[in-house]
Chain A
Amino acid sequence: MTPHASVHRHGTVLIIVAGVSALLAAMALTFLVRMRSDVEESQLIVRETQAHIMKVAACNFIMESARLGWDPKLPNGNRSISHREAFGWIDVRTGLPGPRGEDGKRLGPVDASGIPIAGPDGEPKWDEWTDLTLAEAVRPAKRCAMFVMQRPPFAVAPKVAVNAIQTTGPNALKPYLSEADPQRFQVGMIDSDFADKYINGEKQPDLARFVPSWFRVWRAAPASFVVTCGVGDTQGFRTWDEVVVAGETGRFGNSVGEGREMFHFFQQQEIRLWYLIEWSAHVASSDYQNLQNEFPLKSVEAYFQRPINTSQESRSQGKLVNPVGTIRMIQRLLNEPRFW
């Protein structure tokens, strides 16, 4: 064989090996691309599911803000120490739109000394997002960006059985309730630090579980709200103008031109669901038990009732605590409403 032929023979083997390797590499690449595509599709489902979770969060927000969270907020951002209680989105005492305080007056913004700011009629102003006298086109929505905190305020320790019955030792089989249940969260903190950390928590996002999600609540009628549930990086801003007015352009790159483009890009990537939701002051009934059934004649009305919610009474819901009303109707909107 000539040296020329020998080179040919070595080249053939190289080509075969290279071909087989390329084939395997192509298959591996296809596999990876497919997996990547799967992951992206799964991300979409995760986001959609998260949007539904936002719906629940929004319902909770509407119910709680019917009664709570109206402590005056001072211009410096701090809450006044005076606690105000509201009486529902439709005031249960008068039927007027709420929230109104114990004195029946509107709950809204206050000045630096905590005095309610008066509106044109001399009465306290509403917060803008609750103000039904504002035209629909200019009535703002309440925007709530949501995330899992590293540790929320007033966190308790995740212990299921704080007072588990011991099986050994001098206290074996004794059902002592010697420890407070639930227990406060305190790991590696000295007592002097604890109070502050317990009250304030660590409100930074937990990045390991971060899915950018938000909801907006727009008041449509005294007890009706348009809820927008979103998952995406706009953080619930509807338009770029809203971002500018809120002074939040830094979230999108700070530069107005590029920031706007970034915002619009996020808008296109985002999942948004719209709902019409109705709140009601009515809460679940406190079911009761007349002792009538324990008399032989059913026609005898017995007015002796067992106490409600006692632990031994199975015929009422245990520990029924619902001071914030209920969500009476939820309607998914199939079109984007004009106001949200």
Chain B
Amino acid sequence: MLPVQPIRRLSLRQAFSLIEVMIAIMLGMLLIYAAMAGFRVASQSITSANRMALENSLLRAGFHEALNEVDLWTAYDDPESTVAADQYLRRAQMPFAQLPTTQRIMASSPATTEAYVYSESEMDIGWDHAYPWPASSSRTWWRANAAEWHNSRGRSGNYTLFSGIGGSPHPWLASQMDMLQTNLGYYGFCDYLPPSMLYAYIGPDPRQAGRIDLLRDFVSPSNFRNGDGGTEFAQGRYRCTKDTSYLLVPLKPVGGAGLITTGNVRRIWRTGVGATADPNANDSVTSFMKHGLSSRNQLDQKPSHWPEVKVQVARFLSHNRFVTLSKIGFTNSITGQPLELSFTSIGTTLRGARQQRKPGAPGTGAGWAKWWGPNETDNDRHLDYNPQ
């Protein structure tokens, strides 16, 4: 008979009591819950932080793009694009149209003399991009009668003898003004002329059956003159834009591409006192912005959960101020909350933007013009200098 093995009693150290198990499970669950809750909060924080970081990144990118647009004007002309619509404003009578140019008229050599004598003539025609319009030069002086209107009775004399196109000895300034307003529209007219100018000139007036007189459109209420105070005489840039504006229509205006017309860059907009509240009326700020504000989405191929980002620009002249209005906005795709930042700034002018671009017909993708120095032979031609 085998010896009976003594029953080995389990030690209390080798098993759990029910209470112990329950406490252990409870503590374990608490631990797991705390860990899960912590993880969840941390995870949500990270998601939220990532989302806000994404929004910040997009805002930064939008701001960067807006600053670039201030200097590069690609909302008005994209010189590298081979799509004709991206250079639509190069058509005749639009702000990026080719101007007739003259030969460079700077006669002296800057390396050997400081004279810089400009061999200028009243008979010069076309635009000379290197001519600085010295205030001392008599051909830059406005010589009409500042108190006259069109159809003058000439009580102070016949000023068409002193100044203007058509027989006077001083036709240069009037022909420059005529060329600029005809080719570039009113914003360009004001951008190119010195700020001291009175914006009217004498010439054959199509609205007065070709009579040589102060052009009626520039002294009497018209698409150019606002008629402020019922006045009808030549006025400076402040009076011409007091409570009114001239604008540039971008390639993609908010109101649609149908607004890009030669007429819309040759009309006055009532944007101050007298502007109407009806958004559909022509004389309303809403209508003004429909024509003038660009509507370019920045991220056409973005993931659907990313915010919608827009960088918009409007360029106009009001109260003698050239305004570049930049707007950066995005809409949160989850909450739908919109955010907009707008600012104005000083950057490349229209003339500068035209000098940035190589000449070329719409769709040719002519590209950017390089400028290396004032007398460098490898400077590119540009929209204001393209002698044939």
Contacts and interface: CB of A to CB of B under 8 A. Distances in A.
B238 A293 contact: no
Contact of A221 (B14, B60, B229, B374): B374
Interface stretch (B92-100, B134-142, B204-212, B296-304): B134-142
Interface stretch (B83-91, B151-159, B246-254, B334-342): B151-159
Interface string A27-40: 11011001101100
Interface residues of B, number: 86
Given A55-B347, A285-B198, A290-B233, A224 B132 contact: yes
B96 to A, nearest CB: 14
A285 B195 contact: yes
Interface residues of A, number: 81
A94 B136 contact: yes
Contacts of A287: 235-236, 238-239
B320 to A, nearest CB: 6
A31 B196 contact: no
Nearest to B232: A298
Interface string A2-32: 1000000000010011001001100110110
Contacts of A56: 346
B72 A332 contact: yes
A332 B134 contact: no
Contact of B136 (A16, A95, A133, A315): A95
Nearest to A282: B194
A1 B348 contact: no
A334 B368 contact: yes
Interface of B is mostly: loop
Contact of A301 (B111, B148, B353, B372): B148
B364 interface: no
Interface string B95-110: 0000000000010001
Nearest to A322: B195
A180 B72 CA distance: 46
Interface stretch (B34-42, B163-171, B276-284, B305-313): B34-42
Contact of B371 (A34, A301, A330, A333): A333
Which of B14, B45, B132 has the most CB atoms of chain A within a 10 A radius of its CB?
Answer: B132
A90 B346 CA distance: 24
Contact of A332 (B35, B228, B347): B347
Given A31-B45, A133-B113, A289 B371 contact: no
A322 to B, nearest CB: 9
Interface stretch (B48-56, B175-183, B256-264): B48-56
B49 A35 contact: yes
B194 A289 contact: no
Interface stretch (B1-9, B114-122, B285-293): B114-122
Closest A-B pairs by Cβ, 3 of them: A285-B236, A331-B352, A282-B194
Given A95-B137, A96-B116, A221-B374, 16 more contacts: A17-B31, A34-B49, A38-B56, A48-B67, A49-B67, A52-B347, A88-B135, A224-B374, A282-B195, A289-B229, A292-B233, A299-B149, A328-B349, A330-B349, A334-B72, A334-B368
